[in-house]
Amino acid sequence: MDLENQEKLLVTNRDELRRRHKGNYKAVTNGEIYLLPYEVSLRSKSDSFFSSLSNYDFLKNTDNDGQLTLTGLRQELWVLDDENSNNDFWKNFNDSALKTHLNTILGLTRSNKKDKDWRQTYLKQAKETDIDKPHHDDMLKCIYLLAHMHKASPTFIRQLAVVNDAWSTDLRVYYPRKDFAFSEEYGGYLAELYSNILYHQSDEICKVLKSFDLLIDKMVKLSGVMFADILERRSKDNDSPSLKILKYNQISSITHHQALQRYLISKITADFYDDSFDSLKNRENQGLANVRHYWLVAAQCLRLKLGNPMTKKGDYWYSDGNQSISQQDVDYLISLHANALAADALQDLKFESPGSKSGKKDTSLPAAIRKMAEQNPQTVDEILEAPVLDVANIPEVYTKYMLCRTQYAEFYRKQRHLEFIENMKPNPKVEKVLSYIKGNNLAQIHADVDEIERKVKLMNILQGNIDNIEGVTIVFEYGMHELPKRE
């Protein structure tokens, strides 16, 4: 085996992939907030490690003088062929991943023969030069990286391409979900993607890509004020395909969240009564989940709502932020939650999914309730005291339902349920912000945000608010962060 193939072949082994990306993130002060575990590992590698890599590897930062070719790439990928079955890896990879999903990710739809795909858009044709196709090498490096991921899991690139789908796998680079079967593995693929593509990128690009969730959230909240002037701006479509892939991933995560909320609106608004839990308790056949399971999950929903572990002192519960709640209110809220969940059980509420991947169709709502109850603490006090709750291998649609259903019950008692539902509907401000994100290259987005931050700092100086002026932040957060443990 060629030495240059060994490093990326580790990606095709799922156990090796998990080991590579295992560990805690490292806080950094340059605005990125964190470094992925493998990003930290790469910084300690010797020059010989990088020099031994394939010229098609993102980690090898050399000037290839236009020597990278699609033919050469395919030769590099011969090692991925299945010798036992004579299976042509490239044909399978090209037909099932590149022609459909990669074109979707890069915004290259082929509705007719005149439309360009990734080859014609980014690779040099005939006598074209680097000036004509400046992202030629980057495109080939993308294919090289994605090929090894596809060898490990043909479903990864397909999931990466999904947007606006409540049942899709929400792929996140920062603290991946743990509520579906392949979350640890998929999180490894995404960490591999980011670690490779961002390794030689500027701090500015890394800041934007790692802060997109914060950026979009703050732009939505301040879209009519601080960000109003920039949201109509548009810039050249000159990002490399690799950066477009990472930006697409961040956008798809936002649209997944919106689609999930839209889907759940009709699921959480059914009637419930003060005796719904007792009615379920008195039913002869309670089904896969019994009343004890529903009660424990009702307590878990309260713990999730509170956000932090609680400590009991006398008749009150306290969090680190000095938030307090009386035992009487705890008992009332758990009873309210239990009645709402039990009412749905009595009405045999079902969720239908379009497929069976990641335990979707194989997991019913009662099965999810039972699993969530059994894999967490078994008393209410222990649940409220728990640092975290374990939602591993429970499809997100169910955990999100449980939380929204119980929150709806609380708002209903306050006669504010219509407001709660309205907040779950698509937000036009989000669409406006996403339009801005899609319509600008990453360098321009960084420049726009930096412009706003400089204006805010100047305004503070003029007003005499000069204490900690360098710490004034709008989006990019500088300074050390205390990151949650992953192990």
Give the pLDDT score at 192. 96
Residue 38 pLDDT exceeds 90: yes
Residue 393: pLDDT band (50, 70, 90) is: confident
Task: Give the residue extent of every domain in the chain.
Answer: 3-264, 276-424
CB atoms under 10 Å from CB of 25, counted, come to 20
Cβ-Cβ contacts under 8 Å for 168 (sequence gap 6 or more): 159, 162, 252, 256, 259
Give dist(CA 451, CA 458) in Å, integer.
Answer: 11
Q: Which two tokens stand for residue 79?
A: 């090692």
**The residue type at 332:** Y
pTM: 0.85
Q: State the average pLDDT over residues 156-168.
A: 87
Q: What whole-number distance in Å separates Cα of residue 323 and Cα of residue 479?
A: 26
Q: How confident is the model at residue 151 (pLDDT cuts 50, 70, 90)?
A: very high
* Percentage, residues of the chain above pLDDT 70: 90
Residue 464 pLDDT exceeds 80: no
* pLDDT, position 353: 66
Return d(Cα 112, Cα 386) in angstroms, integer.
Answer: 56
- Is the pLDDT confidence value at 109 over 80? no
Across 35-43, average pLDDT? 95
pLDDT tens digits along 262-286: 999 999 999 999 999 999 999 988 8
Q: Looking at residue 286, what is its pLDDT?
A: 80
pLDDT single digits (tens) 52-71: 999 999 999 887 666 899 99
Is a pLDDT exceeding 80 seen at residue 205?
A: yes
pLDDT at position 469 over 60: no
| Nearest partner of 201 among 46, 55, 30, judged by Cα | 30
As a whole number of angstroms, the distance between CA 268 and CA 411 comes to 12
Lowest-confidence region among 337-341, 345-349, 375-379, 392-396: 392-396
- Looking at the chain, the whole-number percentage of residues with pLDDT higher than 90 is 56
Highest mean pLDDT among 176-185, 206-215, 359-368: 206-215
Beta bridge partners of 27: 34
Residue 468 has pLDDT above 60, yes or no: no
